[in-house]
Amino acid sequence: MKIVEKIKTWGKQYDQWAQVRQMHPVLTTVQRVCTNCETEFQGNFCPQCGLKASIAKLKVKNLFQNFLDIWGLGSRPMFRTLRELFTCPGYMISEYLSGHQPLYFPPFKMLVVTTVIYLLAGWVRDVPIDGLIQMDSILDSVNGDASERGTKLSVYLEQIFDWFNDHLAIGVIVGESISVLATRIAFLKAAIQWSLVELFFAHIYLSVQHYIFATLSILLFGAELDELPGWGVLSLVIMFYQWLTLAQLYNMGFWQSLFRTILKSFCQIVIAFALVALLILIVMMI
């Protein structure tokens, strides 16, 4: 019981920290003169040209930041977004959706960056990247049926999944759309409601989380997540972050958010199967 009470205490302390952490820089009232345009002002940035008030001497970290700036990655919001994506993801996403976009790195741009790093990691470690859709187990079960209907179904499934593997961008959009719809259904009666567009942005950040885990799996173990012997442990970590993100995003308690997160996964499977069945009907009619 003492352990349970300690866990509850730690949980409350973490939640308080996550909600009241410093979100905005403290404004200074010191009178300054801009070194660029010589405008007199008070604050952290010049209102005329936007130059930062405190310009320090160039250091080694400035070299690294300038190198990243070539691809637009040297901004402070990127590092802040990466940190908070794993410390308080739901609150971070909620703040982004509520209008604090300048504080965080744009989700779509971040998804592109993490995807490229993921592919580069596969190239460096010589790990074949099979795409977003794994269909071997599905086709094996279908091929086990010797009937003519089973053979045709296997062919149709292979055509559908091959097309999505050749068009990964569309595959990501379809996959995230399914997740968004499942989330909306599972959290339909939540006190806080987000639009489908807002949920789509939230799920892009969730995809960034997944790609970071996948990249670490390749770099550290030389294999994709679903090929690791300890995939069960890593899958629990990913599921934990998905639950934590949704719990904070909807500001729900432990058991209620856990139930709705499980319900969301179930709805996602049902919607995916329904979509595959619809695509099979379309292919059969063509």
d(CA 41, CA 25): 17
| H helices present in 167-228, as ranges | 168-186, 196-221
Determine the angle formed by the axes of helices 107-124 and 196-221, rounding to 10 degrees.
20
In a domain, 2, yes or no: no
Task: Locate 122 and state its tokens.
Answer: 């596969």
Judge whether 208 and 107 are in contact, CB under 8 Å: yes
28: DSSP letter? P
CA–centroid distance for 114 within its chain: 10
Looking at residue 142, its pLDDT comes to 45
Mean pLDDT by 10 residues, the chain (286 residues): 77 79 62 82 78 67 62 68 92 90 86 85 79 44 48 59 60 81 93 93 92 87 72 78 94 91 93 81 68
d(CA 56, CA 49): 18
In a domain, 36, yes or no: no
Tokens 């009666």 correspond to: 189
Tokens 């008070």 correspond to: 42
Global pTM reads 0.74
Rounded to whole angstroms, what are the CA distances from 147 to 142, 143, 153, 282, 285? 10, 9, 10, 21, 20
In a domain, 65, yes or no: no
24-50: b (≥16 Cβ within 10 Å) or e:
eeeeeeeebebeeeeeebeeeebeeee
Give the start-end residues of each E strand in the chain.
Answer: 31-33, 40-42
Judge whether 164 and 133 are in contact, CB under 8 Å: yes
Judge whether 90 and 247 are in contact, CB under 8 Å: yes
Task: Return the bridge partners of 202, or none.
Answer: none
In a domain, 61, yes or no: no
d(CA 267, CA 179): 9
In a domain, 266, yes or no: yes
d(CA 48, CA 216): 43
CA dihedral (225, 18, 12, 248) in degrees, to 10, reads: -60
Tell me which residue range forms the domain holding 165: 76-285
In a domain, 167, yes or no: yes
In a domain, 60, yes or no: no
In a domain, 59, yes or no: no
